[in-house]
Amino acid sequence: MTVMEVWAQADLLSVRMTLVPDQQAGTLETLVLRAIVAGVDTRDDLADIFGLAPRLVDGLLGDLWRAGRISVDLGTEDERVRVTSGAKDELKEAEKGEGAVRSGSQRAHSENLAFERLTGRALPFFRTEPYPKDRRLVVPRMLDDPPATKLARGDLLEALTATLDRDGSEADGFKVDEAYLAPDVLGSTRSRRYVQLRVRVATDPAGDLKIQVVDDDLSLWQRDLATRRLQRLINDEPTSTFVKQLSQGAKREPLEERTLQHVMRDLSGVVSALEICTPAHRQQAHDRATYLARQIEAYANALVLREMDAEVIRTGSRHREIIEKMLEEATRQVVISAPWVMVRGVVGFRDSMLAAVQRGVRITLLWGIVEGPKALEPETLSALDVIHEAGRSAGRGGGLFFSRNRGSRIHAKVVAVDDRQLLVTSKNFLSGSDNDELGLFLEAVPGRPSPVIRRAPSVGDGRGYRPVRWARHRVARAAGRAR
């Protein structure tokens, strides 16, 4: 199996950040606040208590004042300092946790990072090269290259922290609190860098070129993403210089895919062998186990961050906005589960439902907290019938399908749209209730499937939430009979 080095293109980014002191500075501010509460409430008294120069105390008080933690009786002889009610609450919370409030001191700073286009990750500038060793092995730019504006905040902070830890300089004693891209990154950049990646290439029995990214600097998820994008490039542009150069080094042999299961198997093997590992090799075995465990952790974190976006819904108004958004963006199917359905609740979403069914969307409604015969109120039935009739009249296959006179024995409050969006909530959104309740809205990231949402309630295949599976046959019967 041939291992080669390819070069991913990277753009130079200017990142602005806010630095705050590390935990020691926060501890000093906490001590000052507690001293003020105890009655040491002038600049000179604080300087005497802590043995600090008055200039340093002025700086500390300035930071606390800008953070809204103290007020100063200006114009008086002593200019006494008082702790605000918000700061007192912070002190109480700090006693329950780490014992120190967050530092109010801040410093503006800027750094250059690299945005690697193949995987969409941020990298410290020192991890890149100004020129590739072989320009024929530079990964071409693709139309679906991720934009720098989609960088996750966590990725930025991680790259910046690595940069500051290596460079030191004026950031010593500070840590990154917030970061954002400078406005000029919204346009194209003329500064180009290159990132080396190790790949395996081979030709399968059919003669097709296959590629697999094996670079240890990438997490499992990043390797998977890079492999899929490179393989698509090979399939779409077989005559490009990049693909031709890869082909020259490829041998006819199968590629063994390395999955999460492989890593877990390796970790299990390393851990099992620790008991019989000789002292001379024990550190090496521990390092190997740590590396594999971090690969698994990084993969799990990547799934959470990149398979879908998640939002906690806390208010009734936000529930309404989210459900209307879901109905407006539905393309094929909507599954709604609501134990209580009343006319005022249906009317609240009538316009969005009408528009959906007229586009050809099939809306399946599961209702009723008890099983057995129980008709909906006549006004509710009438409102639902209007929506279904609008879909039937449009002639695109859309409609609202539900059982008219039998409950589904279901307590779930769920809205699932296609395989892209899912809302699970405690709010009875079709009863017309104005109460604020808690819900979780999940939305698949564009261009990437989300297995979590795909396993959500589905009338078509019967998989998903158990009560929905139980109730779906009643809807099918109703759809064939009454609808």
Q: What is the pLDDT of residue 374?
A: 73
Query: Rounded to an integer, what is the distance from CA 109 to the centroid of its chain?
Result: 26
231 close to 31: Cβ distance less than 8 angstroms: no
Render each residue's pLDDT in the chain as its tens digit; 483 residues: 578 999 999 998 888 877 776 544 467 788 888 899 888 888 888 888 877 777 778 878 887 887 788 888 876 777 889 999 888 888 887 776 655 656 556 677 788 889 999 999 889 989 999 999 999 999 999 988 888 877 776 677 778 877 877 765 555 666 676 777 766 544 445 578 999 999 989 887 778 899 989 887 887 778 888 998 999 999 889 999 999 999 988 877 665 666 677 778 888 888 888 878 888 888 888 888 887 887 777 666 666 555 677 788 888 888 999 999 999 999 999 999 999 999 999 999 999 999 999 999 999 999 887 766 677 889 999 999 999 999 999 999 999 999 888 777 788 899 999 888 999 999 999 988 888 888 888 888 776 667 667 766 544 333 444 444 434 444 444 444 334
Cα separation, 362 vs 43, in Å, equals 70
For the question of whether the overall pTM of this predicted structure is more than 0.95, the answer is: no
Helix (H) or strand (E) holding 3, with range, is strand 2-21
Q: What is the pLDDT of residue 391?
A: 94
CA angle 70, 76, 81 (to 5 degrees): 20
Q: What is the pLDDT of residue 306?
A: 56
408 close to 367: Cβ distance less than 8 angstroms: yes
Tell me which CATH code domain 310-481 carries. 3.30.870.10
Closest listed residue to residue 417, CA positions, set 460, 464, 468, 453: 453
Q: Which residues of 443-459 are buried (b: 16+ CB within 10 A; e: fewer)?
A: bbeeeeebeebbebbbb
Q: Which residues of 379-418 are buried (b: 16+ CB within 10 A; e: fewer)?
A: ebbebbeebbebbeeeeeebbbbbbeebbbbbebbbbbbb
Q: Spell out the domain ranges in the chain.
A: 2-17+107-252, 22-96, 260-306, 310-481
Token pair of 423, please? 């809302």
Cα separation, 59 vs 227, in Å, equals 52
Token pair of 204, please? 């399968």
CATH architecture of 22-96: Orthogonal Bundle (1.10)
* pLDDT tens digits, one per residue of 43-75: 888 888 877 777 778 878 887 887 788 888 876
Query: Rounded to an integer, what is the distance from CA 389 to the centroid of its chain?
Result: 40
- Note whether 22-96 and 310-481 share their fold: no
